[in-house]
Structure 1
């Protein structure tokens, strides 16, 4: 490989990404900066509007020769920044070999490493065949795939992909699917002095939720998905006043799934379970369960590839060449409970591996940081993988 990662450049890119406050829904500034930087590198750049003020950045380095298309995929949006920082989260600072800054682990360091890889490869296009595409997308943290699914629906294709979600520089080949649903219960609103004439939606919702758990789900356990499936009620809301019976109440439910389970199957399982609860309770519960839809949420199937998939092997080999130790390849814990854009890519027919810097315990915490050596290593693994996949023969 005749090109190398420019460490100072990669660090500066990661610092620039950190400096943009890009919580989901407010990606405009970071998208414009990323597009401008990739154009400065000489890449063909498309700013793909997904929703007003929310644009994916799709950048292509094309050799002009036939060959494979390698896709790098990472999200620009972030979770809301947690309180408790000792300094401004968006002013990156270097402390003892670490870079401190908001959302460096999820996943601004990985995106910076991918940009560093493209910068290096752009200096030696004569050694390339095919093309390398970077998709820096919006809407992963809030909708779990709004940007990536839009990009795929617009026709983006690739022969293989590397997603940079934080795996602590391990090669990840499996994670859960994610189904999210809304359970709505209808009541009849009256004042408490007339409660015999009303129906409290909250009471009926509580009755259902108290009896609803993973036993409602049909599934076949899978050795690569330990501890799954899971069900979590994350939001409950309803009513208007303490003195009034609630006319309506709802709960948002998250189900993490294993291969063989689908969002539609999960909905059917919960509908059946709710029907049994209503029959057992003997009350006139009016309840409806429905899957959330885009743009609020992008339903996701389980992600699962094998070590024999070529892009998995290439990244694992590049990791060993860069770091000098064999890569851990397979199911990671707790990352097996993730949802990522890799699922959407895989189920669109693009073999995808997940590999990125960052530790789960360091994500979205006050004074979040990452070892600079880790994201520079990831950039080198990305570069070596790209050079091997797109080598000119």
Structure 2
């Protein structure tokens, strides 16, 4: 077998690729070149058209049959923004920290798993990497397309680890065993434009929108469940067309997001909002996009394998959590049990995003233990 992959060097090479979502091209070439010497059969898949595509995904397979351990992750990143201390796509190490866009979320975890796999000779079953170029975007042609590709070939992992940065204060302190669902909704309230001095000749939509906002904001969705916090509805935008100070607008709109637990379903929440909107403003419309349902992985082997590896490598007893945002586990849970585990997440999406070099090396060791245990 070739000399094993250096996780720090590979993380730097991946960060140096400008892979703002949706990612294609060079960043996948870097990962493919790294994996091929270690017996992986690499498939690069491109699908979709604008506005949500094209998107590139990568599936790397080694071995065959069960047990099949999959590692899921993404190589796309959010735009870097302004204010970096250097080029966000020129990885550098300062005071023991690797700095660059994607260092934390989540190119370093992809590199750590690739390094871990390079150290382990395939004794039984299958190891796969399921890597998307569209996790930070709409995900229309991302992980769902990977799942389609697997199903067309009757390939089904028995367990999947997603390398999202889940740790909080220290590496290993948090493993995500489920995620809340998410639904975005856009409310449009029509009116009739007119002069503020002649309101009887106009129809002002703003008061009706205000009543909708107040009614929805007053809703109590639930008290949470054993594994999840309470669901929450948050308004993220309220707007009218720009106009003069003496102009009644022709329409008014609002945007909201609901993060919901396993007591709720996305479609039911959409109907609830539609009923409130219809009651407060007949003629108003609601458009909804359900990003994913809440999911919870039941206790089983993947828990034990990941938790035991964390304990052995770090001495930390991880907390099993469902907090935070969603992940591509919302898609992958249809295949098999899924847990999310990765680096401390304090700098994800921030200016000068960074991760401790020592944590990348420890994460590679943890993933190596996971691979060995899955094959045992």
| Aligned ranges 1:176-325 → 2 under 5 Å | 176-190=180-194, 195-213=199-217, 215=219, 217=221, 219=222, 221-226=224-229, 228-242=230-244, 244-278=247-281, 285-292=282-289, 299-306=291-298, 308-323=299-314, 325=315
| Aligned ranges 1:1-393 → 2 under 5 Å | 6=5, 9-52=6-49, 53-62=54-63, 64=64, 66-121=65-120, 124-125=121-122, 128-143=123-138, 146-154=141-149, 155=151, 157-168=156-167, 169=172, 170-190=174-194, 195-213=199-217, 215=219, 217=221, 219=222, 221-226=224-229, 228-242=230-244, 244-278=247-281, 285-292=282-289, 299-306=291-298, 308-323=299-314, 325-331=315-321, 336-346=323-333, 348-359=334-345, 361-391=346-376
In structure 1, distance between residues paired with 2:67 and 2:216:
48
In structure 1, distance between residues paired with 2:132 and 2:343:
18
In structure 1, distance between residues paired with 2:161 and 2:277:
40
In structure 2, distance between residues paired with 1:90 and 1:258:
36
Deviation at 1:179, TM superposition (A): 1.5
In structure 2, distance between residues paired with 1:203 and 1:147:
41
Deviation at 1:260, TM superposition (A): 2.3
Deviation at 1:235, TM superposition (A): 2.9
Residues 276-313 of structure 1: CA deviation (Å, up to 9, x unaligned)? 434xxxxxx42122322xxxxx621113224x311111
Stretches of structure 1 that go unaligned for 5 or more consecutive residues are 279-284, 293-297
CA contact 1:187–1:286 (8 Å) conserved in 2: no
CA contact 1:214–1:230 (8 Å) conserved in 2: no
In structure 2, distance between residues paired with 1:321 and 1:5:
22
Relative distance call for 1:204 and 1:214 in structure 2 (3 A) is closer
Deviation at 1:252, TM superposition (A): 2.4
Deviation at 1:216, TM superposition (A): 5.4
Residues 145-175 of structure 1: CA deviation (Å, up to 9, x unaligned)? 7511222233252111001111122322233
Structure 1 residue matching 2:36: 3-state secondary structure: helix
Stretches of structure 2 that go unaligned for 5 or more consecutive residues are none
In structure 2, distance between residues paired with 1:178 and 1:248:
27
For structure 1, which segment, 180-189 or 82-91, has the greater mean C-alpha deviation from structure 2 after superposition?
A: 180-189
Corresponding position of 1:281: none
In structure 1, distance between residues paired with 2:216 and 2:265:
18
Residues 27-68 of structure 1: CA deviation (Å, up to 9, x unaligned)? 443234333433354421111223243111111112x5x421
Corresponding position of 1:295: none
Deviation at 1:374, TM superposition (A): 0.9
- Root-mean-square deviation (CA, aligned residues, Å) is 2.5
CA contact 1:3–1:120 (8 Å) conserved in 2: no
Structure with higher helix content: 1
In structure 2, distance between residues paired with 1:241 and 1:39:
59
Relative distance call for 1:39 and 1:250 in structure 2 (3 A) is farther
Relative distance call for 1:299 and 1:384 in structure 2 (3 A) is same
CA contact 1:182–1:290 (8 Å) conserved in 2: yes
What TM-score, normalized to structure 1? Answer: 0.84
Residues 220-258 of structure 1: CA deviation (Å, up to 9, x unaligned)? 5213223x2111222334425336543343322110101
Relative distance call for 1:368 and 1:299 in structure 2 (3 A) is closer
CA contact 1:73–1:136 (8 Å) conserved in 2: yes
Residues 123-151 of structure 1: CA deviation (Å, up to 9, x unaligned)? x23xx211111011122222267511222
Structure 2 residue matching 1:90: 3-state secondary structure: coil
Aligned length: 362
In structure 2, distance between residues paired with 1:41 and 1:241:
62
CA contact 1:74–1:111 (8 Å) conserved in 2: yes
